Structure 1
Amino acid sequence: MATTNDSGAAPQPSPPDAVAAAPGTSGKKLEMTNDPARTGFDPQMKWWMNYFKILTGQMTPEGMFHFREWRYTVHEERDCKRCEEYRDWLFTYSPTVSFLSGKIEDLNGKLDKSNVLCRRCPARLTEDGQVHRQSGGFSPNHGILLCANEIRDRKHLEDTLAHEMVHAWDHLRWKVDWMGDKDLKHAACTEIRASMLSGECRWTREAFTRNNWTLTQQFQNCVRQRAIKSVMARPRCEGEEHASKVVRKVWDSCFSDTRPFDEVYR
C-alpha cells in the first residue's frame, strides 16, 4: 500500500488560506487549498459544469485535485458502505486476513469491525505539486483505519488491511516506537515487513495497477521505496536521504523476517 501517513487517524482538512502550513509541520512543504480564480474549480457550481471545465481545459491540475476531493465528500456514505462490505467479507473468507487475525489474538489482541473502521481520508496537495494520499493506517490506541475513498476494489482493500494487520502484530510483539522518538529503525522495519507480507508489492499488482513491468528486483525495489516513503512521513524524519539511510540499516534483518508467516505467500 502506498501510505504517507500511518498514524491511524484520518488527515485533517486543509486550513482556509490558499497556501497554508500543515499543523505541526514546521519546515515541511506547505499545503495548497482551492482558489476558484486560480484553479478553475468552483464548489458552488454543479458537478457537471466543473467536469465540463476539465474536458475543455479550463481547469488546472490543482483544480482537478480539489474537484476529486469534493466528489469524494459527496460520495462518502456510498464509499464507506462499500468498504464495510469488503471488510466484513475479508474477515470471513480471506485466508490472509483470517491467519493474521488469529495470530493477533494469540498475542492478546483483537481486530474486528469495532476497531477496523472505514472513513473518508482527505488527501493533501503540497506546494511542490505532490499529492499525498493514504489507503489505510494503524493506531495502537484505536485500531485500523481503511480509507474508503481510496479503495479501488476488494483485492486492494485486502492488501491494505493485511498491511495494517502486520503493523498491529508487530506492535503487540515488539511495542514499536511508531513516532521514532528514540530512532526510526522500528518504523523502517515494520514498514518493510508490512509491504513485503501484505501482497501490495507482488508482481501482478505492480504491473497491472502501477504499470511497472520490471522483472529484475521489482519486489525488493517496491518494498524499499514504499518503506522509505512511509518513514519520510514520520515527524522525526529529516527527509528522503535520512529515510533511505535508516531503511538500508535494517534492510537485511527485516526483509528476511517473515513472521508470523513461514514465508512470503502473497
Structure 2
Amino acid sequence: MSDPSTIPPPGELQKPEPPKNPKSTEGFHWWRRTFQYRTGIGLTPEEKQNYENDYHFVLQRKQCQQCYEYRDWILKYSPTVRFMAQQISKLNGNGGGQVLPFDESKIVCDACPEWRSGGFHPELGILLCQNRIRDKWHLEDTLAHEMVHYFDNLKWQVDWLNLKHHACSEIRASSLSGECRFSAEFHRRGFGFTIAKGHQDCVKRRATLSVMGNPNCKDEKQAGKIVNEVWDSCFNDTRPFDEIYR
C-alpha cells in the first residue's frame, strides 16, 4: 500500500473554522488541525498563545473533563478497547517480540463539527469529539472504531486518500467496534431488521457515509460503489479478533 505520508503535512496554520461541507477537503482535515491546536504540535508560540486565549471550539471545562474521565475508564475496563490497545502495542514493537506500552496521550478529547464523533490521523492519533459523546458506552464504540483504524494503519500502511483503502478500514472499524451490534442499531433505528442483516446494513451505511467525507469521493453513489467492491474481503477480515462482536 502507499505511504500514508501522501496525506498533506501540516502547513501554515490558521485557527480552524468548522467546515460548511463535510465532503470537502477542509472537512476531511478539519479535525486534524483541531488536534494540532489541542496538542500544540507544529504550532508557533504565537499560535499557542492565541489558542489559550480565545480558541472557541473548546467546550466548557466540565464537558472536556468528562470526556477524559470516560476515556480513562474505558481504557481500564473495556475488554474490546483493552484488547485493541494490546494489539496496537504489539505492532508498535515492529514484530520483534518487543511490546511497547500503548500511548494514551495519542487519544485526545476536543470539540468537533456535528457530523462526527471521532477521527484518526496516522501521525497524530485519535480524536474523541467531546460534544458528540452521549455517554461512556458511546465513547467505547467510538474509541474502538478509531483503534481499528490505528491497527490497520500500523499493519498495512493505509493510504487514507485511496478510496478502496479507506472503505476497507471503515468496513472493518464499523463491523468490529461494536457500534453496529443489535442494541446500538435498535437505539438508532428501532424495530424492523434482523440481527445478521441489520449488522451488515449498518456497516455498509456507516462505511459509505465515511467514504463520502473523503475529498477524493465524488458523491454517495461512488462511495457506495467502492464499499461494495471491497465488501467481501474486508467484512470477512476480522483481524485481530477471532470473530465479529455483536
1:234 Cα deviation from its structure 2 partner:
0.4
**Counterpart of 1:258 in structure 2: which amino acid?**
T
Match of 2:32 in 1: none
SS in 2 for 1:242: helix
Q: Give the 3 Å change call, closer, same or farther, for CA 198–75 of structure 1 in structure 2.
A: same
Give 2:187's match in structure 1, choosing from 208, 220, 232. 208
**Counterpart of 1:114 in structure 2: which amino acid?**
S
Query: So what's the TM-score if we normalise by structure 2?
Result: 0.73
**Counterpart of 2:75 in structure 1: which amino acid?**
F
> Cα RMSD between the aligned structures?
2.8
Give 1:176's match in structure 2, choosing from 158, 169, 188. 158
Identity of aligned residues (%): 53
**Counterpart of 1:156 in structure 2: which amino acid?**
H
**Counterpart of 1:103 in structure 2: which amino acid?**
Q
- Which range moves more in the overlay, 101-110 or 141-150? 101-110
Query: So what's the TM-score if we normalise by structure 1?
Result: 0.68
Within 5 Å, give how 1:10-25 maps onto structure 2: 12-14=16-18
Match of 1:84 in 2: 68
**Counterpart of 1:92 in structure 2: which amino acid?**
K
Counterpart-to-counterpart distance in 2, 1:91 and 1:155: 12
Within 5 Å, give how 1:251-266 maps onto structure 2: 251-266=231-246
Counterpart-to-counterpart distance in 2, 1:256 and 1:22: 29
**Counterpart of 1:192 in structure 2: which amino acid?**
I
SS in 1 for 2:108: strand
Equivalent residues of 2:23, 2:213 under 8 A apart: no
Equivalent residues of 1:187, 1:231 under 8 A apart: yes
CA offsets 1:155-201 (integer angstroms, 9 cap, x no match): 00000000000000000000001012xxx110010000000000001
Match of 2:78 in 1: 94
Match of 2:202 in 1: 222
- Asked if 1:119 corresponds to 2:119, the answer is no
Q: Please state which structure has a larger fraction of its residues in helix.
A: 2
Q: Give the 3 Å change call, closer, same or farther, for CA 22–167 of structure 1 in structure 2.
A: closer
Unaligned runs of 5+ in 2: 1-7, 28-55, 94-100
SS in 1 for 2:131: helix
- Asked if 1:138 corresponds to 2:142, the answer is no
Equivalent residues of 2:122, 2:150 under 8 A apart: yes
Match of 2:166 in 1: 187
Question: How many positions carry a matched residue from both structures?
Answer: 198
Equivalent residues of 1:12, 1:122 under 8 A apart: no
Equivalent residues of 2:168, 2:234 under 8 A apart: yes
1:213 Cα deviation from its structure 2 partner:
4.0
CA offsets 1:182-226 (integer angstroms, 9 cap, x no match): xx1100100000000000011111112343542261111000010
Counterpart-to-counterpart distance in 2, 1:164 and 1:246: 20
Unaligned runs of 5+ in 1: 1-6, 29-71, 124-132
CA offsets 1:80-126 (integer angstroms, 9 cap, x no match): 10010010011111111110000001101664331100001133xxx
Equivalent residues of 1:191, 1:227 under 8 A apart: yes
Match of 2:142 in 1: 160
CA offsets 1:219-253 (integer angstroms, 9 cap, x no match): 11000010011011001001111111111110000
Larger radius of gyration: 1
